[in-house]
């Protein structure tokens, strides 16, 4: 990654005339992305599905950089779901190889750019080498504060909630003491703010078991681009769309914008 700049990109500001001050562009703090379309992209380009995932993997760094440059502070990427284990073994192995790279050689690049890395998801089914390297990467980057990048890997929202309930029950918590904060604190995303916007690439409109608790009030954005083709221009389009949304959180428009 060549540069991660937290300043808002001037290209996002609509052009001005005279002495008008620039209209405010509201940039989401936390963007979560369902990186869909790798296989379709591969097919379109005469490549294998595994090559499609490689292209998707290679797109993570430039998109992270583009988000950071525009003032986004945190991103969560859906890289492998609890259901993806059922895909052909060759495909699962190809994604595991990419994961090994991400938490191995890939970590240094993010660390030198001040990116804090975190895994959200189930640990026990992942290869021991990946788990060990996740721990090392999280520890190494824990003090970084320019950008937070979370990898949802072997992640499923329903499983996450069941896991939280199991933990709460095993702690012997009295039912009256269970509230939303307690549940949120037992999710894999504990301590991570809810996503302001969820982007799904690949043109479909499903949440696919991704952050189903955390997305209660997230703005949903679907991009027609397949994930490997989702670039700076698409990042700008998504942020612009977010900026025009009125977030009401179930209230009247004038009580919270
Ligand atoms: C969806 O495309 C994408 C996935 C299931 C995996 C996403 C993985 C990566 C971007 C690369 C791996 C990243 C890491 C960090 C290890 P799809 O195969 O469902 O595409 P389709 O919708 O065209 O079928």
User: Looking at residue 35, which CATH number applies to its domain?
Assistant: 3.40.1180.10
Residue-level pLDDT at 233: 98
Q: Closest residue (by CA) to atom 20 of ligand 1?
A: 37
In a domain, 20, yes or no: no
In a domain, 13, yes or no: no
pLDDT tens, residue order, the chain (257 aa): 333 444 444 445 444 444 555 567 899 999 999 999 999 999 999 999 999 999 999 999 999 999 999 999 999 999 999 999 999 999 999 999 999 999 999 899 999 999 999 999 999 999 999 999 999 999 999 999 999 999 999 999 999 999 999 999 999 999 999 999 999 999 999 999 999 999 999 999 999 999 999 999 999 999 999 999 999 999 999 999 999 998 778 888 765 54
Distance 162 CA to ligand 1 centre (A): 25
Distance 10 CA to ligand 1 centre (A): 31
Distance 29 CA to ligand 1 centre (A): 24
Options 5, 84, 163, 209, the catalytic residue: 84
Which of 83, 159, 170, 148 minimizes the C-alpha distance to 121?
159
Distance 79 CA to ligand 1 centre (A): 6
In a domain, 37, yes or no: yes
In a domain, 250, yes or no: no
Of ligand 1's listed atoms, the one at least distance from the Cα of 41 is 23
Residue-level pLDDT at 21: 58
- Other CB atoms within 10 Å distance of the CB of residue 117: 23
Residue-level pLDDT at 23: 64
Q: CA 139 to CA 156: how far, in whole Å?
A: 24
Pocket test for ligand 1, best of 80, 82, 99 (most atoms within 8 A of CB): 80
Q: Closest residue (by CA) to atom 24 of ligand 1?
A: 39
Range of 132's domain? 26-156+194-243
Which of 81, 63, 60, 54 minimizes the C-alpha distance to 153?
81
Options 9, 19, 36, 86, the catalytic residue: 36
Domain total in the chain: 1
In a domain, 104, yes or no: yes
In a domain, 202, yes or no: yes
127, 128, 163 from 50: Cα distances, Å: 19, 22, 31
Residue 36 is a catalytic residue: yes
Residues with CB under 6 Å of ligand 1 are 35-40, 53, 56-57, 79-80, 84, 95, 98-99, 102, 151, 202, 227
In a domain, 10, yes or no: no
Residue-level pLDDT at 107: 96
């Amino acid at each position: 990654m060549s540069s991660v700049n937290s300043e808002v990109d001037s290209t996002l500001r609509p052009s001005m005339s005279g002495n008008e001050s620039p209209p405010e562009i509201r940039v989401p703090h936390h963007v979560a992305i369902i990186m869909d379309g790798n296989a379709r992209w591969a097919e379109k380009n005469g490549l294998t599905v595994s090559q499609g995932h490689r292209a998707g993997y290679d797109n993570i760094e430039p998109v992270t950089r583009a988000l950071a440059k525009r003032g986004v502070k945190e991103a969560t990427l859906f890289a492998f779901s609890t259901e993806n284990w059922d895909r052909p073994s060759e495909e699962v192995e190809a994604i595991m190889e990419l994961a090994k790279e991400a938490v191995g050689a890939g970590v240094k690049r993010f660390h030198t750019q001040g990116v804090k890395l975190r895994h959200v998801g189930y640990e026990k089914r992942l290869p021991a080498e990946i788990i060990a390297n996740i721990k090392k990467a999280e520890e190494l980057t824990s003090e970084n504060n320019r950008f937070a990048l979370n990898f949802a890997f072997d992640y499923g929202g329903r499983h996450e909630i069941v896991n939280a309930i199991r933990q709460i029950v095993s702690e012997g918590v009295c039912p009256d003491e269970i509230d939303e904060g307690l549940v949120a604190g037992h999710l894999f995303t504990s301590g991570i703010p809810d996503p302001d916007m969820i982007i799904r690439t690949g043109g479909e409109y499903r949440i696919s078991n991704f952050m189903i608790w955390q997305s209660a009030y997230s703005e949903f954005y679907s991009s027609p681009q397949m994930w490997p083709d989702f670039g700076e221009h698409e990042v700008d389009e998504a942020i612009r769309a977010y900026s025009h949304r009125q977030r009401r959180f179930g209230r009247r428009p004038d009580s919270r914008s």
